[in-house]
Each structure stands twice: as structure tokens, then as C-alpha cells.
Amino acid sequence: MKVRIEWHYQIPKSKNTYLLTTELMNVQDILYMARDIEKTGRVKSLQFYDQMDSEWTKKELEKLLEKEAEEPQQIVAFFDGGYDKATNTAGLGVVIYYEKNGQKFRVRKNERIEEIDSNNEAEYAALWNLLLQLEELEVHHTDLTIKGDSLVVINQLTNEWPCYEEDLDRWLDRIEKKTKQLGFNINYKSISRKENREADQLASQALNEIFISSHSNLNDSEN
């Protein structure tokens, strides 16, 4: 998560104050800067805002920094949705890589769902499932990268393409609300199907009713 400071600067021997704003910075750096600003004796108030313009107190940010050391970091996640038109069924595949306490982990998960009307809807459902998996890992208020091979989903989420289909728009709204709720700053990246082969395979397996659910410590496999 990145945060900015709004500093109401108090002019010495005057009632006048001026508003100074920093750029967005990581929490550790912004707290260091806040302590330096307080030493000036020229602070009427300091206010902290994240990328979503949600307000934080200094104490809340300090607690968040303490918790971050024990939570998933350096998160890169992949999603893919497969679609069977004959049965209106989708296979959803997600892969999550992250680090925690100096260890590297991987989550692999797939699911099969019904009443899906298109391949694009299957892709949106896969992304939604990915967000739920991140929530289950207790990931929140952090930066992360999400990769997928659906140009429609990636470009609509980044506002490069408009969304005219009502069914896709509903998924888009759900995803944006969940992202805001969890405090994610997501870098969406479009990749080729070959680069997305892990999630693609999981989606195909789900369509064939081969279900995978694993949470692995990758450091163990290296030893």
C-alpha cells in the first residue's frame, strides 16, 4: 500500500496555515517522513490518505506496518477461465505466488461452476475466484500484480475498453467493489496463453472434474 501526507503547515507567530501534500510513498517511508515533519514544530495537523483516498491515522499505519511483516508480500497471481458452451459450464483456474517471512509459497486452485453464458464471463468468474482466494489468505491493503490472457477482462478493468454487456458489467462491479474493500492496488497485466499455462491447465482440469487445491512452500521443493 502507498500513502500520502497532507501537512497543514503553521506559519510561526501567525494564524495562517498552508496545505502541503507529498506524493504517494510506501508506509515505512511515509512514517519516517511524518516523524521528521513533526520535529519542525510547524504542524497544525497531519492527515494520511492511501491510493483509494481512504484516511488513516498515524497509529493505524504503524500497526499496519507491524502486521505486514507476517502477511503475504510480493504477490503475483494468475487467472484463467475455460468455457464449455454445450453445458454452459466454466472451469476456473488460479495460481498465486507470494513471499512470507523470507519463504516463497504457491497456491493452486481450480473450480467448476455452472450457468455461465460465455468465455468472457468465465474469465471474469476466474478473476473473482482469485480475489476470494487472496481474501482467504488474509491479503489486504497491499500492491499486487494480477496476470491473465483475456484481453477483454484486462482492458475493461484498466478502462482501456468500454463494457457494454450487462452480465459482464455486473462482474466488473463486483470485482471493483471487492478490490476496494480489500484495499488492493492492482497492476493488471495481459500475458499470452503460453505464459498463463498453469492457470489454463487448472481451468481445463476443472472442466474435466479433476480438482486441485494446493498450498506449497517452494523453498522445501528447492532443498
Percent of the chain beyond pLDDT 90? 77
- One domain, residues 58 and 131: no
- One domain, residues 93 and 193: yes
- Is the predicted pLDDT of residue 35 greater than 70, yes or no? yes
**Long-range contacts of 27-30, Cβ-Cβ distance < 8 Å, separation of 24 or more:** 27/1, 27/2, 27/3, 27/61, 27/64, 27/65, 27/68, 28/65, 30/3, 30/4, 30/5, 30/61
pLDDT in tens, 183-206: 999 999 999 999 999 999 999 999
User: Structural domain of residue 135, as residue ranges?
Assistant: 73-222
Question: What is the predicted pLDDT for the residue at 222?
Answer: 60
Question: What is the predicted pLDDT for the residue at 115?
Answer: 95
pLDDT in tens, 123-169: 999 999 999 999 999 998 889 999 999 999 999 999 999 999 999 99
For residue 133, is it left (φ>0), alpha (ψ between -120 and 50) or beta?
A: alpha
- One domain, residues 31 and 58: yes
How high does pLDDT run on average in the chain? Answer: 93
Question: What is the predicted pLDDT for the residue at 170?
Answer: 96
Report the CATH number that the domain containing residue 118 is assigned in CATH: 3.30.420.10
Q: How confident is the model at residue 216 (pLDDT cuts 50, 70, 90)?
A: very high
The domain boundary, picked from 49, 68, 87, lies at 68
- One domain, residues 62 and 81: no
Q: Measured between alpha carbons, how far is 223 from 218 in angstroms, rounded to an integer?
A: 9
Question: What is the predicted pLDDT for the residue at 14?
Answer: 82
Predicted TM-score (pTM) of this structure: 0.75
Q: How confident is the model at residue 223 (pLDDT cuts 50, 70, 90)?
A: low
Q: How confident is the model at residue 120 (pLDDT cuts 50, 70, 90)?
A: very high
pLDDT in tens, 69-90: 678 989 999 999 999 999 999 9
The domain boundary, picked from 41, 68, 95, lies at 68
